[in-house]
């Protein structure tokens, strides 16, 4: 197996052109240096040095030298980056479902640092289905997902219910009804969170009337349909508003945004992630629906 030590021996000998000087440079004696060189030549399958007149690179050795230097430089940079990250605290990769309002997402991401954790925060927004896969694979550490969801062995905290509002075209007939059913409801694609999507639709259907839906890519697209008088939208984002749109309280039936914080109990750092997940959960709970 090719190792960093093999490359160090090769580069030192290429630059020093002397076995004794190269051995001293890499901190070993001459016999193990010669042995390391022979192993390297066996691994690459070519002779790297001409030893008949001093020590000089062969044509194949000259071709390898710039690659070996770049590889050693990259390894050194990687170690320095790791040392800096360790000094700055652990790297915490968070994922949030797009239904989490932006101000609340910021509060959630800041919660570990405000609680005194030494962490470098990275955050991505993706569908619940994508987040679950990323947590399982270790690409992110903790995710705020929609509930209900099939966890497939992941751990998750308690269900947090966030209040929502119905956005409807202003002046729509039947304004006393929180959910005017003559218009379709703008929803995100079912594949993003199948179980949560079905629960939402079933809750609307509990009124005893069929509810039509229109699929939108995000809440901004849903808001545009509302402003155009073509749909209504249920959102947890209190700041989402536009001209020609009115906000109604979504209470009959209750339509809270159901969220949970999930992590992988089988990944390294699971115990630490569980503690951090509690901080995120507490940040969400402060906005809990009454």
- Alpha carbon distances (Å) from 8 to 4, 39, 177, 217: 6, 13, 75, 53
Least confident piece of the model among 6-10, 89-93, 217-221, 222-226? 89-93
Question: How much is the pLDDT for 85?
Answer: 57
Chain segment 239-261, per-residue pLDDT in tens: 999 999 999 887 667 889 999 99
Higher-confidence residue of 221 and 287: namely 221
All structural domains of the chain with their residue ranges: 4-86, 89-160+258-285, 164-255
- What CATH code would you report for 4-86? 1.10.10.10
- pLDDT confidence bin for 178, thresholds 50/70/90: low
Higher-confidence residue of 171 and 233: namely 233
- pLDDT confidence bin for 1, thresholds 50/70/90: confident
**Percentage, residues of the chain above pLDDT 90:** 59
Chain segment 199-243, per-residue pLDDT in tens: 999 888 887 666 789 999 999 999 999 999 999 999 999 999 999
The answer to whether domain 4-86 and domain 164-255 are alike in fold is no
This prediction's pTM: 0.69
Both tokens of 45, joined, read 């399958």
Both tokens of 193, joined, read 């969170």
The mean of the pLDDT values for the chain is: 88
Higher-confidence residue of 211 and 137: namely 137
89-160+258-285: which CATH topology?
D-Maltodextrin-Binding Protein; domain 2 (3.40.190)
Question: How much is the pLDDT for 128?
Answer: 96
Q: Where are the beta strands (DSSP E) in 10-133?
A: 49-50, 56-57, 90-96, 119-125
Give the CA angle between residues 12, 13, 19 to the nearest 5°. Answer: 120
Candidates 74, 3, 67, 71; CA nearest to 35 is 3
- What CATH code would you report for 164-255? 3.40.190.10
Least confident piece of the model among 27-41, 97-111, 181-195, 202-216? 202-216
Question: How much is the pLDDT for 262?
Answer: 97
CB-CB neighbours of 146 under 10 Å: 26
The span from the CA of 140 to the CA of 157, in Å, is: 17
Question: How much is the pLDDT for 94?
Answer: 96
The span from the CA of 77 to the CA of 97, in Å, is: 34
Chain segment 35-88, per-residue pLDDT in tens: 999 999 898 899 999 887 778 899 999 999 999 999 999 888 877 766 555 555
């Amino acid at each position: 197996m090719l190792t960093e030590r093999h490359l160090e021996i090769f580069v030192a000998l290429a630059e020093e052109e002397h076995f004794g000087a190269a051995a001293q440079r890499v901190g070993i004696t001459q016999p193990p240096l010669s042995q390391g060189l022979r192993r390297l030549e066996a691994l690459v399958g070519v002779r790297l040095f001409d030893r008949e007149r001093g020590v000089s690179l062969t044509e194949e050795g000259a071709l390898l030298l710039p690659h070996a230097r770049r590889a050693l430089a990259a390894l050194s940079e990687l170690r320095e980056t790791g040392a800096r990250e360790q000094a700055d605290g652990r790297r915490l990769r968070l994922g949030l479902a797009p239904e989490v309002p932006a101000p609340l997402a910021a509060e959630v991401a800041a919660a570990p640092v405000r609680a005194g954790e030494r962490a470098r925060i990275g955050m991505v927004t993706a569908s619940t289905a994508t987040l679950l896969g990323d947590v399982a694979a270790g690409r992110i550490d903790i995710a705020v997902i929609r509930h209900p969801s099939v966890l497939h062995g992941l751990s998750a905290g308690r269900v947090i219910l966030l209040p929502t509002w119905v956005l409807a075209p202003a002046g729509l007939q039947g304004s006393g009804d929180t959910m005017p059913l003559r218009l379709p409801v703008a929803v995100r694609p079912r594949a993003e969170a199948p179980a949560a999507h079905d629960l939402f639709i079933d809750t609307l259907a509990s009124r005893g009337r069929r509810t039509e839906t229109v699929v939108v890519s995000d809440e901004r697209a849903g808001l545009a349909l509302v402003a155009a008088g073509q749909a209504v939208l249920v959102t947890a984002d209190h700041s989402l508003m536009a001209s020609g749109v009115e906000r109604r309280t979504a209470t009959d039936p209750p339509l809270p945004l159901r969220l949970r914080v999930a992590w992988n109990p089988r990944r390294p750092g699971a115990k630490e992630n569980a503690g951090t997940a509690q901080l995120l959960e507490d940040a969400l709970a402060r906005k809990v629906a009454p």
